[in-house]
Amino acid sequence: MKLDEKDIKILNLIQENCKLTAREIAKRINSPITTVFARIKRLEKQGIIKGYKAILNAEKLGRGTTAFILVSFTYQPSKMDYQLTQREVAKEIARLPEVQEVHIITGNWDLLLKVRVRDVEELGKFIVDRLRLVKGVEKTLTCVVLSTEKETTEINL
């Protein structure tokens, strides 16, 4: 999809603050409001704009512990007649509410998860009592985040 300069300006403004109205965007990029509105609708229809969300402060909401977990799985867990796929295991893990992200990756591990919980104790319970009970999960490696210097949802255009 070919994006022109106005599309990129609109996308940058929306990424910065998705609460801006079409009128405010139009004023900032010096373009008619109808043009801005039509472009935003086109970008949504094309799937370039996937949605609009508030970014919440996890720490203030009692979810101050972040961890990245590498997961290895077995294609044929014991007592199963069929083979699992990475996608099936990833989808099952994605259903767990503590999990913010699930990525199928290359290398020595199969999946990379981003998890937010209250504290290390809750993280341990999550891993032992929930994650490792998902069919196919063979082993995990957990990295607890000590501090975060940058975390963004913005894409550099």
CATH assignment at residue 10: 1.10.10.10
Domain match, 30 and 96 both: no
> Has residue 84 got a pLDDT over 90?
no
Higher-confidence residue of 65 and 75: namely 65
Domain match, 33 and 87 both: no
With beta carbons less than 8 A apart as the criterion, state whether 73 and 89 touch. yes
> Has residue 81 got a pLDDT over 80?
no
Q: What is the pLDDT of residue 78?
A: 66
Q: Return the percent helix, strand and coil in the chain, to nearest 5.
A: 35, 20, 45
Q: What is the pLDDT of residue 128?
A: 97
Q: Which of 99, 150, 101, 107 is nearest to 127 (CA)?
A: 99
Q: What is the pLDDT of residue 82?
A: 73
CA atoms within 13 A on the CB side of 71: 32
Domain match, 135 and 90 both: yes
> Has residue 16 got a pLDDT over 70?
yes
pTM listed for this prediction: 0.88
Domain match, 70 and 139 both: yes
pLDDT, average across residues 62-77: 91
With beta carbons less than 8 A apart as the criterion, state whether 31 and 24 touch. no
pLDDT, one tens digit per residue, over 135-149 is 999 999 999 999 999
> Has residue 61 got a pLDDT over 90?
yes
Output the six-digit token pair for 110: 């199969």
Domain match, 14 and 77 both: no
Output the six-digit token pair for 9: 């300006």
pLDDT, average across residues 2-29: 96
In a domain, 152, yes or no: no
Domain match, 30 and 76 both: no
> Has residue 79 got a pLDDT over 70?
no
Q: What distances in angstroms separate CA 155 from CA 36, 47, 91, one per listed residue?
A: 20, 15, 25
Mean pLDDT for all residues in the chain: 94
Domain range for residue 69? 65-144
Q: What is the pLDDT of residue 77?
A: 64
In a domain, 119, yes or no: yes
**β-sheet with 111-117: strand ranges across:** 99-104, 111-117, 65-73, 137-144
In a domain, 121, yes or no: yes
Domain match, 140 and 88 both: yes
For the chain, percent of residues with pLDDT exceeding 70: 96
> Has residue 51 got a pLDDT over 90?
yes
In a domain, 113, yes or no: yes
Overall domain count for the chain: 2
> Has residue 19 got a pLDDT over 80?
yes
Largest CA distance in the chain: 65
